[in-house]
Amino acid sequence: MNENIENKLVKYLMNAANIDDLEVLTNWLKDDQNKQIFKNYIRTNYAMDINTNKFDTNNAKKEYLRIIRQDKKLVHELKIHKVFKYVAAAVIVFGLGYFYQQGSFNRPMEITPIIVNTTIESDTDKATLTLEDGSVVALEKGNTYQTQNANSNGEEIVYEAGKRNRTEVAYNYLTIPRGGEFFVKLSDGTQVWLNSESKLKYPVKFIEGTTREVELVYGEAYFDVSPSTKHKGSKFKVFNKSQEVEVLGTEFNIKAYKDEVNVYTTLVEGKVAVNFDNKKQYLNPSQQSNFNLNNNSLVIKTVDVYNEISWKEGVFSFDGKSIQEVMKVLSRWYDINVIFENKISENLEFVGILRKNKSLEEILSNIKNSGIIMDYEIKDNEVILK
């Protein structure tokens, strides 16, 4: 890429591009290869927050040019969970959203949004624990809870392995509401991160020598499974809806929300077998299975793992997702209902990174500045996109 394009790209990322700059970039984006280069910049550099005006413009330009000219292969050369912490660090500092559609750039119009009654903040760690006797305990940040088998500090719950080998399995349920997230460490050492609007069923203690089984009743969960070699060869299985995932010491993500007909299983590392309709399909790292509940079909493709698991590290990463899909994710985190007043915008694509710890108003402002929506209105827990 020549220096002229690099400079115009930096100006665009800084929200400082003029009409001539945008025309040059639009023509440059007509090449599919250049579109991918642009996406990579957005995903890996996160140059600055397009809403801020506190930067020294000249020095910032030089710094962002230096970043852009760094080795672009870093993310692909290192394992995703190793490089993620460095990528996420940049997001936490800046956190922004950018947009382009069909090779053309969009600029925001200055319209003041309407905010009625409330400003909706991002939420935090919270869950409901249902014990084996049916009693319910609220787990929330700042509150501690302890049983004979588990301890919680309000942000996570950890189960002890215990010394007694039970012959009967006692189950707990961990339910995460809209606007919440939680972490659980099972008695075998398996770690599970649960996203908003999710529910997990699991044993208080696994029975030694038998298959370790849990159920993702609905929602999304990231599993880091304790290997079978530490448990006398005991396999680990995750059941959800009409599929079963069999694993051997691995990391993977399952998304199976109640309001979606597709179940997505994404393998980060290790090995899993997805069983469905009396069939078995193995996944390799960076592969994702898409199981359609309506016709019992399964499709496998290679994906960008970062985009699939970024939620557990505190960011939303979108690469070519429609704004309708983006708002569905945000509705679970901010516990809102979304109405599209402008139906045309529903299918426009969004490329960018959004921090989960921002208020909804800040997030919507970023999306508005991307040019996808003209304006927005917040009424209590309802958001109207215009």
Q: How many H-runs (helices) and E-runs (strands) does the chain carry?
A: 9, 27
Residue in the structure block whose two tokens are 């800084």: 14
Question: What count of residues does the chain have?
Answer: 386
**Segment among 14-18, 304-308, 358-362 with least mean pLDDT:** 14-18
pLDDT of 372 strictly over 60: yes
CATH 2.60.120.1440 residue ranges for the chain: 124-308
Q: What are 336's two structure tokens?
A: 């809102």
47 band by pLDDT with thresholds 50, 70 and 90: very low
Alpha helices in the chain (DSSP H): 3-13, 19-28, 32-45, 57-68, 74-77, 80-93, 305-309, 323-334, 360-369
**Segment among 84-93, 101-110, 239-248, 352-361 with least mean pLDDT:** 84-93
What pLDDT does residue 79 have?
A: 31
What pLDDT does residue 132 have?
A: 92
What pLDDT does residue 15 have?
A: 55
Backbone angles phi, psi at 29, to 5 degrees: -75, -5
Backbone angles phi, psi at 57, to 5 degrees: -60, -50
What pLDDT does residue 59 have?
A: 52
Q: What is the mean pLDDT of residues 311-330?
A: 90
Q: Of 380 and 53, which is predicted with more confidence?
A: 380
Q: What is the mean pLDDT of residues 98-121?
A: 47
Cβ distance 258 to 199 under 8 Å? Answer: no
Q: Tens digit of pLDDT for each residue in 214-271?
A: 999 999 999 999 999 888 889 999 999 889 999 977 999 999 999 999 999 999 999 9
What pLDDT does residue 158 have?
A: 97
Amino acid at 58: N
Strands 251-256 and 243-247: unpaired
Angstrom distance (rounded) from CA 247 to CA 347: 36
Angstrom distance (rounded) from CA 172 to CA 145: 14
Strands 376-379 and 114-116: parallel
What pLDDT does residue 201 have?
A: 98
314 band by pLDDT with thresholds 50, 70 and 90: confident
pLDDT of 178 strictly over 70: yes
What pLDDT does residue 254 have?
A: 98
Domain 114-120+316-385 sits in CATH 3.55.50.30: yes
Distant-in-sequence contacts of 76-81, Cβ < 8 A, 24+ apart: 79/269, 80/268, 80/286, 80/305, 80/306, 80/309, 81/251, 81/268, 81/269
What pLDDT does residue 45 have?
A: 45
Angstrom distance (rounded) from CA 172 to CA 203: 6
Q: Is 315 strand, coil or helix?
A: strand
Q: Of 40 and 49, which is predicted with more confidence?
A: 40
Q: What is the mean pLDDT of residues 11-22?
A: 66
pLDDT of 43 strictly over 60: no
Q: What is the mean pLDDT of residues 23-45?
A: 70
What pLDDT does residue 95 have?
A: 36
The angle subtended at Cα 335 by Cα 333 and Cα 341, nearest 5°, is: 105
Angstrom distance (rounded) from CA 342 to CA 386: 5
Q: What are 74's two structure tokens?
A: 């870093």
CATH number for domain 124-308, candidates 2.40.10.170, 2.60.120.1440, 3.40.50.300, 1.10.443.10: 2.60.120.1440
H or E element in which residue 349 lies: strand 349-355
Angstrom distance (rounded) from CA 369 to CA 107: 7
For 129-178, the three-class secondary structure string (H helix, E strand, C coil) is: EECCCCCEEEEECCCCEECCCEEECCCEEEECCCCCCCCCCCEEEEEECC
pLDDT of 212 strictly over 90: yes
pLDDT of 118 strictly over 80: no
pLDDT of 30 strictly over 80: no
Q: What is the mean pLDDT of residues 91-112?
A: 41
CATH 3.55.50.30 residue ranges for the chain: 114-120+316-385
Partners of 254 in the beta sheet? Answer: 221, 265
Angstrom distance (rounded) from CA 144 to CA 138: 10
What pLDDT does residue 345 have?
A: 85
> Residue 216, class by beta-carbon neighbours within 10 Å (0-12 exposed, 13-18 middle, 19+ buried)?
buried
Cβ distance 332 to 120 under 8 Å? Answer: no
Enter the pTM of the model: 0.74
What pLDDT does residue 17 have?
A: 65
Cβ distance 145 to 156 under 8 Å? Answer: no
